[in-house]
Structure 1
Amino acid sequence: MAAANERAELAKAVRAWRDGNGLTVKQAADLLGMSRRTFEGIEQGRGFSYPAMLKIAMEAKKGADNA
């Protein structure tokens, strides 16, 4: 049950980060160096093996140039 909550919280954080930066799924995935499919899975709550690393990467890319 705890794992499901962690996946849901990560999905919520990822979606908020993407929306807050005005990024499409593809732009966000490219910015974080992962496939669109992997990013979509994380955003849909399927989890990610390294959530702490993902959160660090998102923080580093916060407000990044979307060009």
Structure 2
Amino acid sequence: MHRDQHVVQAQQQLHGLVSGIIAEAATVGAVRDDVSADELADYCLHALSAGGLPSEAAVHRLVDVTLAGLRPSS
């Protein structure tokens, strides 16, 4: 149980870090601001935790798609 608590705490800290970065980026127009930073952080962390990708190229495509989802609309 104690180890699981550390994992949950680390996940929460990572989410807070990513959410904070996204929030800061949204204030300067670098990422979209029509979705909350918390929701975007959830989206990014879930997408990037995908396992079993068949190649390094697939990993790069996943990162590209994730970043495209953060871009502000034109």
Shared fold (TM-score greater than 0.5)? no
Interval of TM-score (by shorter of Structure 1 and Structure 2): 0.3 to 0.5
Higher RCO structure, 1 or 2 (CA under 8 Å, sep 6+): 1
TM-score (norm 1): 0.45
Name the structure where helix makes up a greater proportion of residues: 2
Instruction: Give the structure-2-normalised TM-score.
Output: 0.41
Higher alpha-carbon Rg? 2
